[in-house]
Amino acid sequence: MHINETDEQSSLISYERIKNELETDVLGRKLIVLDEIDSTNNYAKQLARENAENGTAVVADYQTAGRGRLGRSFISPKGTGIYLSVIIRNNMSVSSAQLITSCAAVAAAEAIEELCGCDVKIKWVNDLFLGGRKICGILTESSLGTVAGTLEYVIIGLGVNVYSLKGHIDSELEKIASSIEDETGKRISRSRLCAVLLEKLEMHLEKIESREFIKEYQRRSMIIGETVIIEEKGKSRTGKAVSIADDAGLTIKFDDGEIRTINSGEARIFRNQN
Ligand code: BTN
């Protein structure tokens, strides 16, 4: 914490502020803070190809071409959010890597909750919600290693809407997306959030094999018991979300009676129309 800082100063993302707060051993030890970039995931991927070390983190104040899941874009206005990508290269098995996104969702939910004292929910598979609207998305991308069943690297990309999005997004997007400030009235420090996020992520990734985080993922899930719609082979199917499986998959009882766990794609909650 910096003494005598104005609210405006403490809301800035800076290398020094993040480093002052950071208590990790690996994640963010090598830290790159940028004013502007197309996508921090693209930047991190380039660094990973150039052999950047495990834990290297890239943070930007603004993304001109932020990317989301399923080929969507992620609106990343200047001065409002955290756009963070972390390179993981630790010989993680493919099976553990499949859990990374849900593990990161728990870490991000805990970090936000620690700073703003609010109850953050997870909408399967990787969206964080506050007050019924999305405040954070996660895009994990990986490159296969030369040894079968291993990964060369994984990029975990997190986008958190921290300050008010009013005037930054259109009215359609406002129905489904929001920010921590818009939902809680609190203006938390983005640099501090970045540091806490890296700490929580490191803590959960260290023990990912134990799958301990799954309990917290299940507890925070906002989809269980809801009617959901999924797209499969170009068709919409409706069912009830029954539970989160131990591999973080979503178990659905479909309207035709079939019960199955899905591990990829998207489940829209019918009630909310989102
Ligand atoms: C989603 O909601 O579909 C995932 C959004 C992920 C956005 C983050 S912001 C940092 C990183 N860089 C990107 O281009 N995307 C991820």
Residue ranges of the alpha helices (H) in the chain?
7-10, 15-21, 40-49, 94-97, 100-116, 171-174, 180-184, 190-206, 213-220
pLDDT given for residue 5 in this prediction: 66
**Mean pLDDT, the chain, integer:** 93
> What are residue 232's phi and psi, to 5 degrees?
-140, 125
Question: What pLDDT band is residue 105 in, cutting at 50, 70 and 90?
Answer: very high
Asked which of 54-63, 87-96, 122-131, 173-182 is least confident by mean pLDDT, the reply is: 87-96
Name the nearest CA neighbour of 240 among 260, 255, 221, 262.
255
Q: What is the pTM of this model?
A: 0.94
Write out pLDDT tens, residues 150-172: 889 999 999 999 999 999 999 99
Mutate to test the pocket of ligand 1, among 32, 61, 75, 83 (most ligand atoms within 8 A of CB): 83
Residue 1 confidence (pLDDT) above 60:
no
Return the structure tokens found at 248.
């973080």
Mutate to test the pocket of ligand 1, among 42, 67, 78, 190 (most ligand atoms within 8 A of CB): 67
Residue 252 confidence (pLDDT) above 50:
yes
Compute the distance between CA of residue 161 and CA of residue 173 in angstroms, rounded to an integer.
13
* Atom of ligand 1 lying closest to residue 76 CA: 9
pLDDT given for residue 10 in this prediction: 74
Quick check: CB of 140 below 6 Å from ligand 1? no
Quick check: CB of 137 below 6 Å from ligand 1? yes
Q: Which residues contact 257 (CB under 8 A, 6 or more apart)?
A: none
Quick check: CB of 249 below 6 Å from ligand 1? no
User: Span 20-33, mean pLDDT?
Assistant: 97
pLDDT given for residue 6 in this prediction: 67
Question: What pLDDT band is residue 206 in, cutting at 50, 70 and 90?
Answer: very high
Write out pLDDT tens, residues 263-273: 988 999 987 54
User: Span 104-127, mean pLDDT?
Assistant: 96
All domains of the chain, ordered by start, with CATH?
A: 9-219 (3.30.930.10), 227-269 (2.30.30.100)
